[in-house]
């Protein structure tokens, strides 16, 4: 693809050879001859110039004295994303239902959906136009999958789940498994029937081997545009707002509510009946205790503290050995003073 064509695609301004042939897209460290890369910050200019890349995407203004081809755009990182999409557009199987798929008689599969071998679609389930179900996907009775969704191999969607449009679910994830609810009676755990559902709104992406439990009653809800990483556990009756980011190995216990655009970092644990307000950040390895309400802000630690307070606590933690020694020295001196005082009496 010629640089002039890329400039038109991205709406950028070109400084250099418009006929230069671009054969790939890569980061600065991995750039090969013919690749186009991007400059995220000025401190990387020397590294970019020393790379093998044929062209560098820069922000708004051309770099003086820079010897490589340059493409100036408003947002280099977004331009890089668009080029990755363009150069690496995944091939898509044609629409249609494989003879090796099992479709229950009462299921409805749009003629523009793609259902590959060894997919199971239960009674009363509905699959929207443009959706793609890879081998091993199971869709339970009465579940609804919207338009242009992609369910990767071995995804399980249990019964009574509603999935919106343009949702991506990666391999091995389970949507609508039973919530973890028991009561103790006479020395044994009695299971609480989990009869609710799951609602996943439009433009959500769910990573591999994530689990989202059905509600006890009502629905577990994942809001529009939320992005959920691999190996995340979301329990029954959780409500996650629009645009949230939940990072790998995080766990959210039952009946907790996250507002819009909340970030939960890796391996964070959120106990039951927690409420986290819009725009908050819960740091990695943090623990949020039950029945806690976090106002908008950044939090870290276990149990969580406001981030600035946690930083102060951590700085004191690092000094605990010397503080302990100083205390022991003070105790020793105090004991000597007490003995001397008693002798003088």
Q: Of the residues 152, 236, 273, 307, which is catalytic?
A: 236
- If 0-12 CB within 10 Å is exposed, 13-18 middle and 19+ buried, where does residue 327 land? exposed
Is 236 annotated in the active site?
yes
- Enumerate long-range contacts of 75-82, CB under 8 Å, 24 or more apart: 76/38, 76/39, 76/40, 77/38, 77/40, 79/10, 79/12, 79/38, 80/25, 80/37, 80/38, 82/9, 82/10
Give the Cα separation of 144 and 146 in Å (integer).
6
Say whether 143 sits in a helix, a strand or coil: coil
- If 0-12 CB within 10 Å is exposed, 13-18 middle and 19+ buried, where does residue 52 land? middle
Q: Where are the alpha helices (DSSP H) in 105-223?
A: none
Kindly list the catalytic residues: 236
């Amino acid at each position: 693809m010629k640089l002039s064509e890329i400039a038109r695609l991205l709406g950028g301004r070109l400084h250099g050879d418009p006929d230069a042939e671009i054969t790939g897209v890569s980061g600065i460290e991995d750039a090969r001859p013919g690749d186009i890369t991007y400059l995220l910050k000025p401190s990387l200019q020397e590294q970019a110039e020393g790379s093998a890349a044929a062209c560098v995407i820069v922000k708004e203004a051309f770099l003086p004295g820079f010897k490589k081809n340059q493409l100036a755009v408003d947002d280099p990182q977004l331009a890089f994303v668009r080029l990755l999409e363009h150069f690496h557009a995944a091939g898509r199987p044609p629409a249609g239902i494989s003879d090796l798929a099992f479709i229950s008689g009462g299921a409805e599969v749009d003629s523009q959906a793609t259902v590959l071998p060894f997919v199971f679609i239960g009674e009363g389930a509905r699959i929207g136009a443009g959706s793609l179900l890879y081998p091993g996907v199971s869709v339970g009775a009465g579940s609804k999958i919207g338009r242009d969704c992609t369910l990767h191999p071995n995804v399980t969607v249990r019964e009574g789940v509603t999935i919106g449009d343009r949702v991506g679910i990666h391999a091995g994830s389970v949507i609508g498994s039973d919530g973890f609810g028991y009561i103790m009676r006479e020395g044994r755990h009695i299971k609480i029937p989990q009869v609710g559902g799951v609602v996943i709104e439009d433009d959500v992406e769910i990573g591999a081997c994530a689990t989202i439990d059905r509600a006890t009653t009502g629905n577990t809800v994942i809001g529009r545009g939320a992005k959920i990483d691999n190996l995340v556990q979301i329990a029954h009756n959780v409500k996650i707002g629009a645009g949230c980011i939940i990072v790998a190995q995080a766990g959210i216990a039952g009946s907790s509510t996250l507002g819009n655009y909340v970030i939960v970092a890796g391996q964070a644990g959120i106990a039951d009946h927690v409420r986290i307000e819009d725009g908050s950040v819960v740091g990695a390895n943090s623990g949020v205790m039950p029945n806690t309400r976090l106002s908008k802000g950044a939090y870290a630690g276990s149990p969580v503290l406001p981030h600035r307070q946690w930083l102060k606590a951590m700085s004191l933690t690092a000094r605990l050995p010397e503080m302990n020694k100083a205390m022991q020295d003070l105790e020793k001196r105090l004991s000597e003073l007490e003995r001397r005082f008693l002798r003088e009496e």
